Amino acid sequence: MIAAIIIGVIVVILIIVFIAIYNGLVGLRNQVKNAWAQIDVQLKRRHDLIPNLVETVKGYAAHERGTLEAVTNARNLAQSVATSGGSVPQRAQAEGELSSALARLMVVVENYPNLKANENFLALQEELSSTENKISFSRQFYNDTVLNFNNKTQMFPSNVVAGMTGFKAAEFFEVKSEEERAAPKVSFTTPPQVTPSQGPPPINPKP
């Protein structure tokens, strides 16, 4: 009788632990989904800004066709991968290519002072810069959340529950190259004018 009670208590404890671990895994998985949704919002915002940016640049640098087409094509590819339900690594690769194309466009823009002073362009630059920063922060938060979730799916005893209930490790949103790792620089403020030094005042000879 006592043995049966002990076994029953142990079974109840195991069930409670199982449920607690399972609920914890569900919570972490939902956090991963929410963190990815934050990245997705910012990536879509960047996709929406790029056509207007390209059109504005085209008004001043229409002959830079190759660079402009590269940005447009990279944007269309990234958008296509997103709408077709591409995996996280596929999204990361497409967005990395878009970042590289934008970085090359920003280098070209440096050669057009009138474009850099255009109010519409400056507004787009401000929005794009803000969006790039939000993407960077969102990516860091997402990867931290994925790390916590993956640790739970791989560490004992939660890995046992994860294996029994079909939890799989999530994928990091990673960039592969140093060029892609850096967000495109979109600041075009005019550097301050440096006046030439006049040197020390002349010394009057003593009488």
Domain CATH code at residue 124 = 1.20.1440.20
Residue 88: per-residue pLDDT: 95
**Is 203 within a domain?**
no
Residue 194: per-residue pLDDT: 39
Domain that holds residue 140: 2-181
Q: Is the pLDDT of residue 140 over 60?
A: yes
CA angle at residue 190 from 185 to 194, to 5 degrees? Answer: 130
Q: Is the pLDDT of residue 188 over 90?
A: no
Residue 192: per-residue pLDDT: 42
Number of domains, the chain: 1
Q: Is the Cα dihedral 4, 6, 7, 11 positive or negative?
A: positive
**Is 190 within a domain?**
no
**Is 162 within a domain?**
yes
CB 152 within 8 A of CB 71: no
Span between the terminal Cα atoms of the chain, in Å: 121
Q: Flag the least confident range among 15-19, 48-52, 56-60, 160-164.
A: 56-60
Its pTM stands at: 0.80
Q: Is the pLDDT of residue 200 over 90?
A: no
**Is 92 within a domain?**
yes
**Which has the closest alpha carbon to 55: 126, 122, 121?**
121
**Is 26 within a domain?**
yes
* 166-186 pLDDT tens trace: 999 999 998 764 554 544 444
Residue 145: per-residue pLDDT: 97
**Is 186 within a domain?**
no
Residue 203: per-residue pLDDT: 45
Average pLDDT, the chain: 86
Residue 176: per-residue pLDDT: 65
**Is 194 within a domain?**
no
**Is 189 within a domain?**
no
Q: 156-161 long-range contacts, Cβ below 8 Å, gap at least 24?
A: 157/17, 157/21, 158/21, 158/24, 158/25, 161/18, 161/21, 161/22, 161/25
The average pLDDT across 10-23 equals 96
Residue 128: per-residue pLDDT: 93
